[in-house]
Structure 1
Amino acid sequence: MEFADKVVLMTGAGSGLGRAASLGFAREGASLCLLGCSLDKLQETARQIGDAGGQCVELGFDLADPQGCADAIAGAIAAFGQLDVLCNIAADVMFHPLSAITAEEWHHTIASNLSGPFFLIQAAMPYLVESHGNIMSVASTAGFKGQAYLVPYSASKFGLVGMTLSLAMEMMDSPVRINVLSPGPMRTEMTQGMTFPDFADPKLLARYTGMRPACPPEDVVEPLLFLASDRARRVHGACWAVDGGIMAG
């Protein structure tokens, strides 16, 4: 029970990696604050945690809004009195050529994938300093190498990596650890049945889909749990790829 007496706030907890990670932390004794855009999906994650004997609360706040992020952190403190791990997993992705990206889609993607994590980190930092906690943000191979038709998503993930590294330097003298996990393709609810649009050039897609098949999100959970645990106490400002070799070449 590596996370007994620890409190974890998880964004994107309603499905995919967020749900799998929530269940993984719960199995290790953590109390969970579940954040997501679908109450029904959050309730299903909460049910599974409860069935396994875990403890959690569902927090419904708008993470694209700075006040919503502050309210989410306040909700976690009100529920459990502390915060030990902040996991930024929620993300939106869409395939568009440059000419078809609307201002609304651009701002929504940046708000969800980059601004939300920033404002959560800003609101959570005093409590994480107090608990000697840590921050885990989930980027993507799209945060390290260009990917066609994913300009807003890739920009947000590059930004997430840069933000993490900058904060790691700024917080070097604090007890808080800040790291990034970078998965490759996963078999999640978001990707199941996904087909590439007709305009997409297969030669460009092949550069970042990888030679190995997509993995279940559970394969990414174990590295996430390790990085968030005291076993990784010397890991700070790191970017770990869990991508089946995509970044290798």
Structure 2
Amino acid sequence: MGYLTALAAIGEVAMSEGEFSGKSVLVTGAASGLGRAASLRFAKEGARVCLVDLNKQGLLETAKRIREAGGECVANDGDLANPVFCASAVAMAVEAFGGLDVLCNVAGILRFHALGDVTPENWNKLFGANVTGPFFMMQAAMPHLAESKGNVVNVVSTAAFAGQAYTAPYAATKSALLSLTKSLAMEFMHAPVRINALAPGGMLTEMVNGLEFPADADQALIARYIGLRPPSQPEDIVEPLLFLASDRARSVHGACYTADSGITAG
């Protein structure tokens, strides 16, 4: 775990008087992909953003872009599979900004494995990043979100809805995160918070660069969940994410919105 203390207050002027002006937003996975795109957009809309990721250099780049545009952020690099780090990341955001309004659990990893190739290390790494991290981030954040009448957006996947060959551990993590979303939405039904999920389909992000299917993978099975339309850009998925995080979605609680270019339509 390491604090990027030089970024503790990297902008004196907010980017704009936007929809999230005055709000404090914590985004995991902020070093790249959807997490970076969401962080930049939240900052553009006036939010003060706490950037969290394992990738220190990626965080520095995201923070640099926010700073150059006149935004405000803090950044914290560490392993979300460690509950102690999750608690410290939330504490950093609260200390820096005086509270927390939105938690976006975007960070996640994807791996393709045939059943026989999955090792305990593969399994534990996927569950650590995709389930343990979001759970303990929510545990640490919930008292602050209740105080601010804030909300959580968990990024799951279309893999949470239908079986996808060669992604069994990954799909299990996303199903687990969706179940956590709905179960905690029920647990906090009488609290002034909202907890929702967003399920993208394929996205062109750094997460998929260099990934390979098993050598003997059945391409016909893979084609069933690739989709007929091109993969989305992270910026496309930011729109429904910001909607769920905004006051416009004040009636949305315990829901999962899909943004998958029709993959789950039929």
Tell me, yes or no, whether TM beats 0.5: yes
In structure 2, C-alpha distance between the alignment counterparts of 1:15 and 1:173, rounded to whole Å: 35
1:19 to 23, 36, 48: 36
Residue 70 of structure 1: aligned partner: 87
What does residue range 93-132 of structure 1 map to in structure 2 within 5 Å?
A: 93-132=110-149
Are 2:82 and 1:57 aligned?
A: no
**What letter matches 2:73 in structure 1?**
C
Residue 175 of structure 1: aligned partner: 192
- 1:53: how far off? 1.1
Residue 205 of structure 1: aligned partner: 222
What does residue range 1-249 of structure 1 map to in structure 2 within 5 Å?
A: 1-192=18-209, 194-249=211-266
**What letter matches 2:55 in structure 1?**
S
In structure 2, C-alpha distance between the alignment counterparts of 1:133 and 1:225, rounded to whole Å: 13
- 1:62: how far off? 2.1
What SS does the corresponding residue of 1:211 show, helix, strand or coil? coil
**What letter matches 1:84 in structure 2?**
D
Residue 4 of structure 2: aligned partner: none
Alpha carbons of 1:102 and 1:193: their partners in 2 closer, same or farther (altered >3 Å)?
A: closer
Aligned length: 249
What SS does the corresponding residue of 2:206 show, helix, strand or coil? coil
**What letter matches 2:204 in structure 1?**
R
Q: Deviations 1:60-117 (Å, cap 9, x if unpaired)?
A: 2321011111111111111111100000000011111010100011011101100110
**What letter matches 2:179 in structure 1?**
G
Q: Deviations 1:109-149 (Å, cap 9, x if unpaired)?
A: 10110011000100100000000000000000011111111
TM score, norm. by length of structure 1: 0.98
What SS does the corresponding residue of 2:49 show, helix, strand or coil? strand
Q: Deviations 1:184-223 (Å, cap 9, x if unpaired)?
A: 0011112245443422111110111001010111000011
Is residue 33–residue 56 contact of structure 1 (8 Å, CA) maintained in 2? Answer: yes
**What letter matches 2:194 in structure 1?**
R
In structure 1, C-alpha distance between the alignment counterparts of 2:206 and 2:183, rounded to whole Å: 32
Is residue 113–residue 213 contact of structure 2 (8 Å, CA) maintained in 1? Answer: no
Is residue 61–residue 71 contact of structure 1 (8 Å, CA) maintained in 2? Answer: no
What SS does the corresponding residue of 2:59 show, helix, strand or coil? helix
Is residue 111–residue 211 contact of structure 2 (8 Å, CA) maintained in 1? Answer: no
Identity level (%): 58
Query: Any runs of at least 4 consecutive aligned residues in structure 1 with deviations exceeding 3 A, and if so which?
Result: 192-197
Is residue 53–residue 77 contact of structure 2 (8 Å, CA) maintained in 1? Answer: yes
Gap regions ≥5 residues in structure 2: 1-17
- 1:52: how far off? 1.2
In structure 2, C-alpha distance between the alignment counterparts of 1:80 and 1:199, rounded to whole Å: 51
**What letter matches 2:167 in structure 1?**
L
Q: CA RMSD in A?
A: 1.0
TM score, norm. by length of structure 2: 0.92
In structure 2, C-alpha distance between the alignment counterparts of 1:193 and 1:93, rounded to whole Å: 11
In structure 2, C-alpha distance between the alignment counterparts of 1:58 and 1:45, rounded to whole Å: 9
In structure 2, C-alpha distance between the alignment counterparts of 1:47 and 1:191, rounded to whole Å: 24
